Amino acid sequence: MSGITAGLAALVFVCAARARTAISFEVASIHPNTSGIDGSVVDLPESGKLRVTNASLKTLIRAAYGVQNDQIVGGPKWLDSDRYDIVAKTSRPILEIQEPSLMQNLLADRFQLRVHRDRRELTVYALMTARSGPLFKESTSSSSAIHTNRGPGKSRISVTRVTLDQVAGMLGKQMGRIIQNKTGLRGYYDLTLEWDPDQTPDSTVPSIFAALQEQLGLRLESQKAMVDVLVIDRAEKASEN
């Protein structure tokens, strides 16, 4: 390896290492939210200013560790009931790869959160092809795009050049369940899906199960599977400041 090539390789390594190094929040203000309203917001843009409204610690854990409710094991009873508003900021802009570590460090510092990884057998949904076969085609686009929208009685996902692993992950977040891609389809696809997340009796919008079959030629099947879980070893209520 030439000196120039070696130098470039070292520079790439250093840059990658720095990208993975968490930038701590310089200031973090946490207050209990007792409004009793539904819904929560967790927003951490590239500016590095975190804004959390009416979120439980379980919601924050999901955002920090990229897991679903079923993958969170143990913890105090208030984990999903007590709500918080948080404003925090970093000293400089951040990269997307730094977001999980930033959130995890904040929870460890202010909620004394301690966790460990494990594997458990859980009930999951397997995303599979229906008898009709897939009703979408491989993407011819050179770039990817993801648009999601959720309103009263209607949710919508419209994507360009994404994998079905990504689609399964998006549906899992929408449903709060673990969904695994078992279709065997490994390409990149364009597709749109609309459904009623509330499954109201008089709705003209289909349920997620009906929508998958009718619009995409896919289905969800309940199965048992070994899944990575996050075990809560310790968690304390954050003091108001």
Residue 222, domain member (yes or no):
no
113 and 138 housed in the same domain: no
142 and 201 housed in the same domain: yes
Residue 2, domain member (yes or no):
no
Give the residue from 84, 95, 77, 101 showing the smallest Cα distance to 42: 84
Give the residue from 182, 204, 181, 207 showing the smallest Cα distance to 196: 207
Count how many domains the chain has: 2
Residue 189, domain member (yes or no):
yes
Name residue, tokens 């310790």.
234
Q: Helix, strand, or coil here: 55? A: strand
Give the residue from 85, 88, 70, 103 showing the smallest Cα distance to 35: 85
**Distance between CA atoms of 102 and 88, rounded to whole angstroms?**
10
Q: Is the pLDDT of residue 241 over 80?
A: no
Tens of pLDDT, residues 69-95? 999 999 999 999 999 999 999 999 999
Name residue, tokens 């599977």.
225
Residue 89, domain member (yes or no):
yes
pLDDT given for residue 193 in this prediction: 96
**Distance between CA atoms of 207 and 210, rounded to whole angstroms?**
5
pLDDT category at 176 given cuts 50, 70, 90 is: confident
Tens of pLDDT, residues 14-36? 444 444 454 789 999 999 999 98
Q: Domain range for residue 174?
A: 134-216
**Distance between CA atoms of 61 and 113, rounded to whole angstroms?**
9
Q: What mean pLDDT is reported for the chain? A: 89
Residue 124, domain member (yes or no):
no
102 and 11 housed in the same domain: yes
Residue 129, domain member (yes or no):
no
Tens of pLDDT, residues 33-56? 999 888 889 999 999 999 999 999
57 and 101 housed in the same domain: yes
150 and 57 housed in the same domain: no
**Domain's final residue, options 57, 87, 117:** 117
151 and 97 housed in the same domain: no
**Domain's final residue, options 117, 150, 173:** 117
**Distance between CA atoms of 187 and 162, rounded to whole angstroms?**
8
Residue 38, domain member (yes or no):
yes
The full length of the chain comes to 241
Residue 226, domain member (yes or no):
no
pLDDT given for residue 150 in this prediction: 78
142 and 111 housed in the same domain: no
